[in-house]
Amino acid sequence: MRKFYCIFFLLILQQHQVFCQVATVNRQLFFLDDKPLDVTLTTDIRALRRSKKNSPYKPAHFEMQFGDTLKISEDIRVQTRGIYRKNNCDLASLMLNFKNSFSPKLSPLKKLKLVGDCKNTSSYDELLLKEYLIYKIQNFLSPMSFRVRLVHITYNDSQEKVKSTTQYAFLIEDIDDLAARNNCVELKNDKLMTNDVDREQMTFVNLFQYMIGNTDWSVPKRHNIKLLVSKNDSLSRPYAIAYDFDYAGFVDASYAVPSEGLPIESVRQRLYRGFSRGLDELNAEIEVFKEKKESILYYIDHFELCSTKCRKEMVSYLEEFYKTISDKKDVETIFIKNARTE
């Protein structure tokens, strides 16, 4: 009998620990677990596909499976987002709004962006996983980066007019949580030039975007860049945070092409989009990348959701970057002599 109660107690404790992942004070733990979650989203798929920019939220039912012991099933609201995906994908990326009286267990997650496949094919699944890995790489390199959680999601049509589909997707943590972890708050509406933001952080972002082969970003236009400002120092410069990487050469999506005017023909070609820095400044940030090299390459090489071929290609692409930053002449040529001037 004592053994029975011990087992029962352990099961209850396990459920409590899992549930704490969505408890208010510990919601950050939700993004510290690498294990993919099985989730199901049921809503009017056709209505979502017809949604335009700034369309109102639509009702949906959301199920999330935590391990083998706990399933949370509640009503939430969903909204489409992203201009390109609305016009070109089977289903646009979504904003999941858990904050309502119908989802008391999930409401602490607030609003989360869900990034899904553009098309429901295995090749697009791999593109999605590669973009997910970029976020994980950035997490290795800097605490000023969005955390993500991989999910295996099934989309069900509440009207039973669209066939159910299952694919990988990932959730992105709320900007307020990212800011809080770094003792900052989000800066909105201010129009700033690239040289107006924190110099050290911007140097890191410049190198990181070069590492993954991404030119689809801009500080002045606030394109795929968020800005955070310190809570304690009102005079400090804002920190630039990069996100949205599906146009990166690391991902190599078939629809990704460089912007007109850039001197590259393919997103696989790296182009440094940062302003010039001193060699000492660059080397300080380069050391961060070098220190994390083995951890990053090991993580990618053992990410078994991607094929062996895909993993080798990703590692090879990153090795090219590491070869560049290990060559003093390349560093001076690419990041100083050929840096942006305007």
- Backbone angles phi and psi of 10, in degrees to 5: -65, -40
Taking the model in full, what pTM does it have?
0.90
At 107-166, the pLDDT tens digits run 889 999 999 988 777 788 999 999 999 999 999 999 999 999 999 999 999 999 999 999
Q: Which has the minimum average pLDDT: 82-91, 174-183, 230-239, 293-302? A: 82-91
Residues whose CB is less than 8 angstroms from the CB of residue 238 and which lie 6 or more positions away in sequence, other chains included: 187, 190, 192, 196, 197, 198, 227, 228, 229
Neighbours of 76 (CB within 10 A): 22
At 286-336, the pLDDT tens digits run 999 999 999 999 999 999 999 999 999 999 999 999 999 999 999 999 999
| Helical pair 279-291 and 199-212, crossing angle rounded to 10 deg | 60
> Distance between CA atoms of 149 and 208, rounded to whole angstroms?
21
Cα 268–chain centre separation: 20
Which tokens belong to 308?
């062996």
DSSP 8-state code for residue 237: P
254-280 per-residue burial string, b: 16 or more CB within 10 A, e: under 16: eebebeeeeeeeebeebbbbbbebeee
Q: Which has the minimum average pLDDT: 83-92, 255-264, 302-311? A: 83-92
Confidence of residue 198 (pLDDT cuts 50, 70, 90): very high
- 86-97: average pLDDT: 83
> Distance between CA atoms of 230 and 144, rounded to whole angstroms?
12
- What local confidence, expressed as pLDDT, does residue 11 receive? 44
Which tokens belong to 228?
């955070």
Residue 88 contacts residue 148 (beta carbons within 8 Å): no
- Indicate the burial class of 284 (C-beta count within 10 angstroms; 0-12, 13-18, 19 or more): middle
> Distance between CA atoms of 23 and 31, rounded to whole angstroms?
13
Residue 270 contacts residue 321 (beta carbons within 8 Å): yes
Residues whose CB is less than 8 angstroms from the CB of residue 217 and which lie 6 or more positions away in sequence, other chains included: 209, 223, 224, 225, 242, 244, 273
At 105-114, the pLDDT tens digits run 898 899 999 9
State how beta strands 93-97 and 111-116 pair: antiparallel
Q: Over the Cα atoms of the chain, what is R_g?
A: 21
* Distances from the Cα of 153 to the Cα of 64, 114, 195, 267, 310, angstroms: 9, 10, 41, 29, 22
- 229-255: average pLDDT: 95
- Indicate the burial class of 193 (C-beta count within 10 angstroms; 0-12, 13-18, 19 or more): exposed
Residues whose CB is less than 8 angstroms from the CB of residue 196 and which lie 6 or more positions away in sequence, other chains included: 219, 237, 238
Q: Is the pLDDT of residue 8 over 50?
A: no
DSSP letter for each residue of 35-104: SPEEEEEEE-HHHHHH--TTPPPEEEEEEEEETTTEEEEEEEEEEEE-HHHHHHSSS-EEEEE--STT-T
